[in-house]
Amino acid sequence: MQVKSRLGIGGRFRVKCYDKNGILKWEQFARNGFTDLGRNLQLNIGLGSVAKASYYLGLIRDDSYTGLDHEDTIASHGGWQEADEYDETTRPAITFGTAAAGVISNASAVQFTISGTETMKGVFVVTNSEKSGVGGVLLCTGLFTGGDQPVNDGDIIKVTYSCTLAAA
């Protein structure tokens, strides 16, 4: 039997929003699309000589949205805007556990404490913790499969992310 030599990489975000009383308002999923720079970063970390990166989550708002693109960078993504209506002073870090069966996930949900009224469209992963910062590498982006979702001051958004590397 021949070993499969092609690999596919993909990921899925699970996003839950709770009101200020802890009641689940909505739950959404988002399949990620890796950016060109994000794929290159993963190859350089895994097979090249680039040191492992730290990763941070961000939120995509619905304002002026026209689309996501594989050529998007964190400094240049003309089709979408980052949401910064949350209390945390930086983008929250995502800490991954150990990969098993070709899947790696964050051990605990990443949390955003919403500080205003906004409509969220999706999420992204980046290597820069600066809130609305333009440095670092935009790894991937994903839109909610169930459409845009409203948030209000005091809501809590919790995000888990699973990334899979599988034989294609």
Give the pLDDT of residue 94: 95
Average pLDDT over residues 1-30: 88
Sign of the C-alpha dihedral, residues 88, 129, 53, 62? Answer: positive
Give the pLDDT of residue 2: 64
Average pLDDT over residues 47-58: 91
In percent, how much of the chain has pLDDT > 70?
Answer: 96
Of residues 69 and 10, more confidently modeled = 69
Give the pLDDT of residue 8: 80
What whole-number distance in Å separates Cα of residue 82 and Cα of residue 77? 9
Of residues 1 and 49, more confidently modeled = 49
**pLDDT of 154 over the 90 cut:** yes
Sign of the C-alpha dihedral, residues 8, 138, 112, 151? Answer: negative
CA-nearest of 76, 75, 84, 135 to 112 is 84
**Whole-prediction pTM:** 0.93
The 10s digit of each residue's pLDDT in 85-143 is 999 999 999 999 999 988 999 989 999 999 999 999 999 999 999 999 999 999 999 99
Are 20 and 53 in contact by the 8 Å Cβ rule? The answer is no
Give the pLDDT of residue 5: 67
**pLDDT of 10 over the 90 cut:** no
> Average pLDDT over the chain, rounded to whole?
93
Q: Give residue 165's pLDDT band: very low, low, confident or very high (50, 70, 90).
A: confident
Q: How far is CA 49 from CA 41, 52, 161, in A?
A: 10, 9, 25
Average pLDDT over residues 81-87: 97
Give the pLDDT of residue 1: 61
